[in-house]
Structure 1
Amino acid sequence: MNKREFLKNAAALSSLAIMPAESWSFSADKRLRTAHIGLGGMGQADLASISIHSNVDVVALCDVDSTVLAEVSSKFPKAKTYKDYREMLKEMSKDIDAVIVSTPDHTHAPASIMAMEMNKPVYCQKPLTHYVKEARAMDKIAKDKKLVTQMGIQVHSFYDYKLATLLIQSGIVGKVHTVRAWSPKNWGYNGPVPETGDPVPSNLDWNLWQGTSAERPYKDGFYHPGNWRKLVDYGCATLGDMGVHIFDTPYNALQLDVPRTIINNCRKPNGFGYPEKNMVTYEFPGTKYTADTLKWVWYDGVGADKQREDLMLPDGADLHDQGAMFIGEKGRLYLPHFQVMPKLIVDGSYKDIDISQFKLSEPVREYSSEVHKHYHEFVDACLGKATCSAPFSYASRLTETILLGVIAGRFPNKTLHWDAKKAQFAEEDANQYLGGMYRKF
């Protein structure tokens, strides 16, 4: 089963068999009561994976779509239901141990921060936030309160990505000087802004869906349930979707911080939808796994430019639709996305990789079984028996990097200079996009 099939059937996964008891070691009577905010496609997938942990009790469900809420609630009849996460958190504060946030991007931070201020551990879907300032704020709260946190980048815990990290850090290609990453997905919109609105469906609370974002008239097919990623008020474009997944392993393996410069080659901004095609070039300060400076180039959109000499595969083979290439002083490591073993390329030929030194188990090729690991790591951490591998201390930096590339799309072909200590651009006109005004709703 691939990811698309998994998401399609997520609502049914709550009836899957419980994972073997050896996957956690604490006593069976220790429970984690979870509340779930956002129950769309990804929200149901999150709920399915969290709920099959034998130490979890789902006690609250929240969604602004009454049809979705009723459907999911029928599978968890003991859970209380809400359409406003603020009411849920206030009313059930004493009955909730952890909160899972699976909303569109613009609500990630408002919902997560409210829960964290109540001292609740939070599992939040990627990208962590809609704005850079929110990412830094969530990182600070998590540190100050010493909260268990995890960002929803499930493949972070997959076999192939763990292996690629170990290979790069073992020096298999030497110091890495360039990373190229790509996705053909198009979470952009080059069309006109809708001039008229449509009646709001009776099952949707449009005010709550918009949340803290600027108020707009509802338009059928533009926002709920599926196209919000394309629009600047709500999503973070392809970078904020596939970019987070594909950036994650190189970012983690190379132990990168945030970039010094960013430039996005794309069309002029229209203030409503993101560009349908982007080429974002980052320059990072070096680490012990890289050259003195690391160049990172991201391509997205239909026909994303992959015809580069350092992306050519042996025997003229085609690149996978999505993936990343580590380019080092001794060769290249090719990492398709996803569940494909990394491949070593030296002097134009594939080379065998000896992985015996890493003492890894056999690779898993079934998404629907491996996907639970990342979620259960969070549950186990909340219960004091594990440590999260994508806490907000890590996720905030990765998200900041992603969002800087998104902001650069407002200034096509212009190099932006980022001061990580001051958390601002040298180009003053870019700083207005680091945060946003929260609407009262």
Structure 2
Amino acid sequence: MSQQVSSFGRREFLSRSAGAIAAGTAAIGCPAILSAKSPNERLNLAFIGVGGRGLANLNTLTSGGADNVVAVCDVNSIALGKASQRFPKARTYVDFRKLYEDADDIDAVVVSVAEHTHAYATMPALKEGKHVYCEKPLTYNVDEARQITEAAAKANVATQMGTQIHGMPNYHRVVELIQSGAIGNVTDVHVWVGRAWGLQSAEDAKKHRDIIHVTERPQESVTPPKNLNWDLWLGPAPYRPFNPVYVPGPRWYRWWDFGNGTMSDLGSHWVDLPFWALQLDAPKTIEAFGPPPHPEIAPASMKAVYEYGARQDLPPCKLTWYQGAMKPEILQELNLTNWNSGVLFVGDRGMLISDYGKHKLLPEKDFEDFEYPEQFTGNSPGHHKEWLIACKTGSKTASPFSYAGPLTEANHLGNVAYRVDQKLHWDAAKMEATGCPEADPFLKREPRQGWSL
């Protein structure tokens, strides 16, 4: 049976809210009316964090040699030294607060520090009108996400969260299929990831290749390595003595004081797809399931269920997140257990399963003669290049902070629901869980003295 794209497809979805455009349905790389620069004009770039993920961003954003690196910053003197050797004319900093005191010649900033410091390295750039690329997740908590989103709107600069998969062709094609009605109205989505790092038994840690097995906060004090400024690495987080279980990354991300475990980290990539395709916004309710929450360490395995209301003519839908040992039962029913991580959209005319690089319409026999819709989300020139073009021309990026902020908030709310062990009724306008004051400490926190947004 041949299937065609449904009649409510391309034109209707392209005419929807600005949020959908911000999420990537607008053409990539088209100059805005108020284009300020030529795509060939050189940018002065500053890099905050140049080791690990920061080094990858540094390599990618400078690979063409078309832009200037004027400043590099890192709390690790070894990483900083290597970056300085490559860019000897760039100023070097250990404390990014000092970098912003000399920022007059900086056009754009790349933030690749640990999660708990993202907002603190990003906010000064926005306040000074600098373009910003920030690694995922955008912020450490809901309050920071809201503040960064609002500041970005005021700054009116090019912003991008580091969700590189968003720019790959597979996600674009999936969005086109969902938004053109290939599987009808979608009311249920399952998102699962195989990673199981966090609080678990030593046996499970070995099974899931989690090389750092910890169950409690270390009590002993260890002298930090000479190349690490531990106090600056802690930044706004509460002080604690150094221990090698915290650094280098990604060891820190399982500790609640520094990160939010798998959900905020990989949720930035995997929840991104349904968030974009279904034009999701703030959830109505969030409920989480898993082992009893630990006060210090994020769980290896958990599940969170989100209920979303209707969005214009889109029906309400439920999104369920699974990590670690928890998997959707429907995978067994559909014989799809070989998909270690993925997204399954359930519509009233079929289903679609996807991972980063491939997707499949189900049941396969029903889509044997299916004709794909005309492409209408465009193709990205590359996630990093897309941001550079936007900095120079005023074009849209695929995951600006206007989109990444709400996505980050939603991911954090799954952890909040887990930590309070209650179903949250979310009031997005007030930024509070109605009738659940226990959630407040997990929505925002006071930074350590000397740090502020």
2:178 matched to 1:168?
Answer: yes
Percentage identity across aligned positions?
Answer: 35
CA distance in 1, matches of 2:407, 2:376: 28
What is the deviation of 1:125? 0.7
2:381 matched to 1:357?
Answer: no
The within-5 A match list for 1:131-150 is 131-150=141-160
Pick aligned residue for 1:235 from 229, 253, 259: 259
The within-5 A match list for 1:161-240 is 161-190=171-200, 191-240=215-264
CA distance in 2, matches of 1:40, 1:245: 21
Matched position secondary structure for 1:357: coil
In the alignment, what sits opposite 2:291?
Answer: 267
Deviates further, 176-185 or 36-45: 36-45
What is the deviation of 1:380? 0.8
Pick aligned residue for 1:71 from 82, 86, 92: 82
In the alignment, what sits opposite 2:414?
Answer: 405
- Name stretches of at least 5 consecutive residues in structure 1 with no aligned partner: 1-22, 364-369
Question: Cα distance 1:74–1:54, how it changes in 2: closer, same or farther (>3 A)?
Answer: closer
What is the deviation of 1:186? 2.1
Question: Cα distance 1:334–1:289, how it changes in 2: closer, same or farther (>3 A)?
Answer: farther
The within-5 A match list for 1:242-253 is 242-253=266-277
CA distance in 1, matches of 2:190, 2:220: 41
Pick aligned residue for 2:318 from 295, 306, 314: 295
Deviates further, 349-358 or 34-43: 349-358
CA distance in 1, matches of 2:182, 2:39: 43
Amino acid at match of 2:446: M
CA contact under 8 A between 1:182 and 1:300: conserved in structure 2?
yes
In the alignment, what sits opposite 2:428?
Answer: 420
Structure with greater contact order relative to length (CA < 8 Å, sep ≥ 6): 2
What is the deviation of 1:317? 4.8
Question: Cα distance 1:78–1:312, how it changes in 2: closer, same or farther (>3 A)?
Answer: farther
CA contact under 8 A between 2:39 and 2:389: conserved in structure 1?
no
What is the deviation of 1:258? 1.0
Question: Cα distance 1:391–1:360, how it changes in 2: closer, same or farther (>3 A)?
Answer: closer
RMSD of the alignment, in Å? 2.2
In the alignment, what sits opposite 2:122?
Answer: 112
What is the deviation of 1:189? 2.6
In the alignment, what sits opposite 1:345?
Answer: 362
CA distance in 2, matches of 1:75, 1:312: 54
Matched position secondary structure for 1:320: coil
2:93 matched to 1:82?
Answer: yes
What is the deviation of 1:95? 1.4
Amino acid at match of 1:196: E
What is the deviation of 1:237? 0.9
Amino acid at match of 1:422: K
Q: When the two structures are superposed, what TM-score results if normalisation uses the length of structure 1?
A: 0.86
Aligned pairs, number = 402
Question: Cα distance 1:359–1:263, how it changes in 2: closer, same or farther (>3 A)?
Answer: closer
In the alignment, what sits opposite 1:11?
Answer: none
The within-5 A match list for 1:115-126 is 115-126=125-136
Amino acid at match of 2:112: S
Question: Cα distance 1:384–1:206, how it changes in 2: closer, same or farther (>3 A)?
Answer: same
CA contact under 8 A between 2:38 and 2:393: conserved in structure 1?
no
Matched position secondary structure for 1:410: helix
